[in-house]
Structure 1
Amino acid sequence: MTGARFDDATPVAPAGEHRALPVPDGLAGMRVDQALARLFGLSRTVAADLVAAGDVVLDGAAPAKSDRVAAGAYLEVTLPAPEGAPSIVARPVDGLRIVHSDDDIVVVDKPVGVAAHGSPGWTGPTVLGGLAAMGQTVATSGAAERQGIVHRLDVGTSGLMVVAKSERAYRILKRAFKVRTVEKRYHAVVQGQLDPLRGTVDAPIDRHPHHDYRFAVVSGGKPSVTHYDTLEAFPAASLVDVRLETGRTHQIRVHFSALRHPCAGDLTYGADPSLAKRLGLSRQWLHARELAFDHPGSGDRVRFVSEYPEDLAHALAVLRGEG
């Protein structure tokens, strides 16, 4: 694959501003919704809605609006989009494929170079714009530019995403992701051979102390757990199956980089550029392979699988040939 790199040097932000800060001493003991209202000049109703929508994190966990905050606790919130922010604009997206659609959900296979939704500074294609161009309607819950979005994939990561079409599905799926009943499996090609071949990385992640666009394993960061299992080993790299227990930004990329086995092609996190060139990669070899959850309408467990896109399949074929 040739062309521009999609290494997420500038992470895609939500439609509203993302803020993170410690709770001041003067707000200690307040309810979460009350503290949010005081800190950001919101009404209590808006603050409570943000908590209910899963847009608030307190010390790495999703709080209830009535939980109390402690001084120094780390509070993160995605604020509502400013008034006048553009709504979803229909725009066809090359390579965006609908895997499943019904009255409650639409599951898509997202190509590389596509954001989940619009955000300030992003002018490229989005999943929501592509769905609108296909005549798909989504839930109106959420800020104007991210209606129906219950989880996201990085611009530089391909694979499966589910989007809510009904309001009930939006609430149920947001809750499912929050309590971790959704199974997310990724396939990644990482440099070298892992030892042990199967294992768990339990290491906290936060913003990189020196690079705003990167994340890193940081003492005191958010709890982050990644399980992996080697599927194939080659002289230069390994194909691994990855299951996320948490869903931090760039989690897989950060954890394997910390193990000194970065994803092939991931120059942002220390990958070997000569290997990336040999494999024809212009982005990290990382694919959201499988997605399983309880259907918000029927309650049945549903599972979807995505095949590798052309660039990743080519890179894997090169490795197999060399092996």
Structure 2
Amino acid sequence: MKKYNFTVEEENENKRIDLYLAEEFQDMSRSHIQELIKRGKAFVNGKTVKSNYKLKAEEIVEFEIPDNEELEIEPENIPLDIVYEDKDIVVVNKAQGMVVHPAPGNYTGTLVNALLHHCKDLSGINGVLRPGIVHRIDKDTSGILVVAKNDVAHKNLAYQLKEHSMNRIYKALVEGVIKEDAGTIDKPLKRHPVERIKIGVFKDGRNAVTHYKTIERYKNNTLVECKLETGRTHQIRVHMAHILHPLVGDPVYGYKKQRFNLNGQMLHAQKLGFIHPTKGNYIEFESELPPYFKKIISILKNELK
């Protein structure tokens, strides 16, 4: 028997625990998960719950899986672009195409597998599937993220995320020419009730705010800078699609016919700033646009000549 524990993020507040666990363990059927919950294998803050229990943000969920279904996350010698590291944190420049943490059906080749090989100590707050992971960026989004090497650092960084005090700035290439020089998208988001891989704008969703600024206009596209006030799943991708300027290359929210042969949305986590969790000083890290991103921008610039 092995236990997996998770800290409930704001976006999952009021979600039934069986649905929550079904999304975390996608190779297990919901009925199987409900059976394990019925057998007393699911706990919230140390107490057993029923399948219809609705979660609250920051609650600790524990889930026990029988030995024959245990997940083993192995360290892997995968190259990492380490931007900064000390005894408390690791700041990584993640490549496009790399999944941040393992999940059922995808146990290898992730950032966590690489980190476990690089450094032996990562915070255990989010359990064996997500050790050290304070925040995530999508598989096909590149750029900066911070990982906690101990629980003290993890709790401090998680608090900064909750208070929206982290400075998170992204560069995105979107479809169409945005007329405005700047704007704010304040639209609540939640998971789509039917298309579960999608997040959508819904009145009863979680508060979500994205500030954007136009950097450069091209013939049929716009390069924008997006500053996150909140950090919901797929937030920039959904918000930009909502104002009819989806990200170029986005396989979920973008145009069906794409001009460029891309591996995913053109979104890069360019800048991340926060208060160091133990030293108390503000630190900020920046990452250049990856080569494939620069190449597309170069093509678009040449079209303006």
TM-score interval (norm. to shorter):
0.7 to 0.9
2:153 to 125, 148, 169: 169
Distance, in Å, in 2 between the alignment partners of 1:21 and 1:45 is: 15
Q: Is 1:118 matched up with 2:102?
A: yes
Q: Is 1:311 matched up with 2:292?
A: yes
Structure having greater relative contact order (Cα 8 Å, sep ≥ 6): 1
Distance, in Å, in 2 between the alignment partners of 1:229 and 1:47 is: 46
Q: Is 1:188 matched up with 2:204?
A: no
1:106 to 75, 86, 90: 90
1:256-310 CA distances to partner (integer Å, 9 max, x unpaired)?
A: 11111000111321325342x2xx4221000111100000121000000011112
1:249 to 233, 252, 262: 233
2:269 to 288, 312, 319: 288
Gaps of 5+ in 1: 1-13, 24-36, 49-55, 66-76
2:134 to 147, 150, 168: 150
RMSD: 2.9
1:177-216 maps to which residues of 2 (within 5 A)? 177-216=161-200
1:14-25 maps to which residues of 2 (within 5 A)? 21=14
Distance, in Å, in 2 between the alignment partners of 1:78 and 1:45 is: 6
1:68-87 maps to which residues of 2 (within 5 A)? 79-80=62-63, 82=65, 84=67, 85-87=70-72
Change (3 A) 1:86 1:274: closer
Aligned-residue offset at 1:192 = 1.2
8 Å Cα contact 2:13/2:55 also seen in 1: no
Change (3 A) 1:135 1:206: closer
SS state of the match for residue 117, structure 1? coil
8 Å Cα contact 1:208/1:214 also seen in 2: yes
| One-letter identity of the residue aligned with 1:162 | V
2:283 to 293, 298, 302: 302
Distance, in Å, in 1 between the alignment partners of 2:203 and 2:88 is: 40
Aligned to 2:25: none
Aligned to 1:91: 76
SS state of the match for residue 163, structure 1? strand
Distance, in Å, in 2 between the alignment partners of 1:315 and 1:168 is: 41
1:39-58 maps to which residues of 2 (within 5 A)? 45-46=45-46, 58=56
Aligned to 2:255: 271
| One-letter identity of the residue aligned with 1:302 | I
Aligned-residue offset at 1:42 = 5.0
Matched-pair identity in %: 33
| One-letter identity of the residue aligned with 2:135 | H
1:156-208 CA distances to partner (integer Å, 9 max, x unpaired)?
A: 11111101012210111111111111111111001112232200000111122
Aligned residues: 270
Aligned to 1:31: none
SS state of the match for residue 240, structure 2? helix
